[in-house]
Structure 1
Amino acid sequence: MSRPHLPLKIPDYTIITMTADRLTYYIERYLDGSITPEEWSILQELMHQPESQQVLEELMEIQLTARHSAGFTYPSVIERLKTDLLVKVQQENSARQTTIKPIPLYKRKWLRYAAAILILTTGTFIYYFNNKTIQSPGPEEIAIAKNDIAPGTNRAVLTINNNQRIELDSGKNGISISGNITYNDGEKIASAGQLVQLATPRGGQWQATLPDGSAVWLNAASSIRFPSTFSEDERRVEVTGEAYFEIAKDATRPFKVIGGNQEIEVLGTSFNFNAYDDEAIVATTLLQGSVKVSLRNGAGKVLIPGQQSQLHRNNSFTVTNNVNTSEVIAWKNGLFQFKNATVESIMKQVARWYDIEVKIESGASQEIDGSFPRNTQLSNVLKILELTDKVRFKVDGKKVIVMQGY
């Protein structure tokens, strides 16, 4: 269905019967930077009509309810939306002059809350005209939008027998190793050789089916190394970075993951392994089945579902119960998800996924809760985090400076 066309001069009965779809249309045009001066005047007029306030309230409730039921939440932003949006509109109504004039965005905070609806719901690209009157985007604004940093995607390099290097097709969604190496659609890549390594760069991810039928998902800046044919007594792989495994059952051949100064032994299970060098701990989180985590000094623990073993950099070893496993594997499901997470830990994930450099200034040490998609531009992620008022950002090319919030 095409978008409705509205003339610049809108009769009263048209405003009274204004639908949520039409109102959303102009808000979306504003947010993506394509709104014309005439459309901006229409949107200003509509937003100040008493009839539109009910539409806005209903739209907000629909969008937030749908988003919450789908598992995407951002508690602090949602609370502000519910309590402040209509108040801001009403305040502007009472202070509004008869003649419509362009008003800088920083004086129109209600529109910032309306923008949050679309961020939470669609992940649409957001560009704010900070400290400027609203107008059609000029060359400078277009350049900024074009220079935004895209999210990570399917990117990986396959190395066979330590000498044959193949950059995998980012348009594919995984590979399978069984004699030959093929994409999941059956297209042959190469013969497997004897030793296979799959590695993702910063800003990359990949999925692979191993020779025994087990499945592995690699997060950004990670690798897995294994023989093209497992031995008769064990299935052994070496991992760096982060990987999620779903292991095919084989009671006669335990599956062993080597990495982070430890060994994980499983028979058939689902678990996440995080051993990034810049993290304070090496974490193994069990979702299903059981695993035995063994350290080089002989210590170890058999985990049950919901437990996470933690090997600290000082070699101390602990086990945490009742871990939020959905948060642990959110990356595999296409999400950033945090609960009482420090700014430092959040930005490490963001840096790896967007392949950026991050500098955190003193004072930016707040804890943040939230959940939002990974398949959105970097600017969206930073805007969402800024809406908590706990952090601010300055972007210089591929360097992001994190500052204390307001």
Structure 2
Amino acid sequence: MKVLLIAMYHPELVRGGSQLVAYELFHGLREVPGIEPVLLCSADSNSPAMFKNGACITGFDQRENEFLFLSQDYDCVWQKLPLPGHAEAFAEFLRRIDPDVVHFQHFLAYGIDYLTLTRKVLPRARIVFTAHEFLTICAADGHMLRKTDGSLCEQASQVRCHQCLPALSPEMFFLRERWMKAHLGAVDIFTVPSRFMIDVYARWGLAAEKFLHVPNGLNMPPLPARSSGTGRRNRFGFFGQMVDVKGLPVLLEAVNMLRAEGFEDFTVEINGENINFASPERRREIEAFLAEEEARPVAERRVIFNGGYHHGQIGARMARVDWVVVPSTWWEIFCLVISEAWHFGRPVIASNKGGPAERITDGKDGLLFELGDARALAGTMRRAATETKLWDKLADGITPPTPREAMVQGYLAAYEEAAAKQKLAAE
């Protein structure tokens, strides 16, 4: 069985959760007898050196079955690429690869209409779509986060969407929804990494029975020895992208609050990158804090900025902290950082909505705090740093995260379910 994986970005060009999952799946499928995976990743202006004059699709780094889709001028509201030549190149690529399964791990930089194009070019192929956020529902980056006040959006509507993006009329959002659903009709099976997403999509009007829950899995580096020290567990770590919705400013504000209370027996290590994708306001806020911290005498510094990291470095970074903090201010669909923290035996302190709330049991394997509430986070951090045996209790309650092999088997089951859906529809 030949499986074509369509992904957003190559993780060696732009790091991120969905691209890492797609790459893990690609390598995991390679290990399954009888499966031939092919990977197509998008590239855009963030990787200008990858572009070749006149090319729409190229190989990547002379690697077997790894390709780049060179995208530009993408329309993020309608999720469409207005370049007919790219659609023609994609169609020709489909014909040449001739896969049994086309698995869209993402459509960003390609276009939602590429689902319909795939069905037209390969009418008998199984089409599987994995949702890593709510891009089809929400035109505001798929985060379902209200731009008016920063609150979580429970359900989209024409008026509510217009309030977030007032340059577009309510009628435009009516048309956008019809556009999205028309192309999603080409999909045989949807998969989501967290169960709560099924309810969100069902409220929007998609059939819940077409969804399967397939948790993200990683092939992790070997475990470092878990510290057995008896001192305070007062070392906190942030891991991931430094973009707005990851909530790093909430953590930094909590640090300021702890200092104002006279509590300074802690450290926070920031392991992050991609601040260039943050809004100018948030970027200035983060950079100003880090500059001020760097200007303090060494003995007074509580926050250490380590920069980005590669997958193989995460064990060493995790070994330097006791707790991993996930202060996300959106639904945070799955959060691979939680899996990474659990793999290394680190309890997680996270916002109490979406994926983290589904995965973490408060007081058993981690701690939850009110989303976006820096004061609540500060109190939780102080408790974590001072309460005797709390860390040991939560670390002992951790369940090992989903391995890559289990994720691969979950997707193979989805491919078989897609075949069954096609057969049933043909009868």
TM-score normalised by length of structure 2 = 0.24
Higher share in strand: 1
Q: TM-score, normalised to structure 1's length?
A: 0.25
Larger gyration radius, structure 1 or structure 2: 1
Of Structure 1 and Structure 2, the greater helix share is in 2
